[in-house]
Copies of this chain bind each other. A is one copy, B any other.
Amino acid sequence: MKLKKSDISDRVVQRLTEYLSILKEVRKYEDGINSIELSKIMDTTSAQVRKDLSTFGEFGVRGKGYDIEKLIEIIEDILGINKVNNVIIVGHGKMGEMITSNSKVLGKGFKIVGVFDKDKKKIGTNIPDLKMEVKDVEVVGEFIKSSSENLETAILAVVKEQAQIAAEKLIKDGIKAILNMTTYKLELPKNIVVVDIDISARLQELNFWRLNIGSKED
């Protein structure tokens, strides 16, 4: 696959995840889809769909559209979720628990291999769905080093006040990618990837568009 990296923006990658989600719905009813049909569901133009997908290679057949199964496979390959990516969860409060008790929310390609907290009362408690115990966050470095698989991703679910310190420690321990579930805006080295799940920010965004309805454009 020829990745023309300079062409790839945050928004393209976000849209790739949307295409994937849509294709997985559509495949229940159809084998193929064309850019016009895809663009309608995505609420964008067919030119945008073709441009987005061509960033990663030439998939469609002119006049015939895309083979859904094949396109799903290709997007999953691009996103690296056609194989298992190990993740740890740091912080087992309400947010961490929501994930560990409902680990399907992570979707295909991700496996929780460790859950950590600093609270002595939580350490050692069992997480039935994952068949593992909450570990002491002090041993997270050891855990990452002794992990046989490549372990580079952490879901950060600590309290806001601990977010920056916890993230810096994780990076020192070898973590390269952080899904930040706190509302704290982390400041980390350039080579570390961070994506924020900020419910409050998304709600603000929603509120803006509700108050300025009709002005939304993609």
Q: Residues of A at under 8 Å CB distance from B?
A: 3, 5-6, 8-11, 13-14, 16-18, 20-22, 25, 41, 78-81, 85, 87, 93-95, 97-99, 101-102, 105-110, 152-153, 155, 176-179, 183-185, 187, 191, 193-218
Contacts and interface: CB of A to CB of B under 8 A. Distances in A.
A207 B5 contact: no
B153 A217 contact: no
A176 B94 contact: no
B20 A204 contact: yes
Nearest to A182: B105
A207 B8 contact: no
Contacts of A206: 153, 177-179, 193-195
A73 to B, nearest CB: 14
Contact of A199 (B5, B41, B105, B185): B105
A36 to B, nearest CB: 16
16 contacts: A13-B208, A16-B208, A17-B204, A17-B205, A21-B198, A21-B201, A22-B185, A81-B207, A87-B203, A94-B98, A95-B102, A153-B206, A177-B206, A177-B209, A191-B213, A197-B199
Contacts of A198: 17, 21
A106 B177 contact: no
Nearest to A94: B102
A141 B205 CA distance: 25
Nearest to A43: B190
A202 B193 contact: no
Given A94-B102, A183-B21, A198-B17, A81 B204 contact: yes
A85 B204 CA distance: 10
A204 B153 CA distance: 11
B191 A214 contact: yes
Q: Which 6 A-B pairs have the closest CB atoms?
A: A107-B200, A17-B201, A177-B210, A98-B98, A5-B215, A193-B209
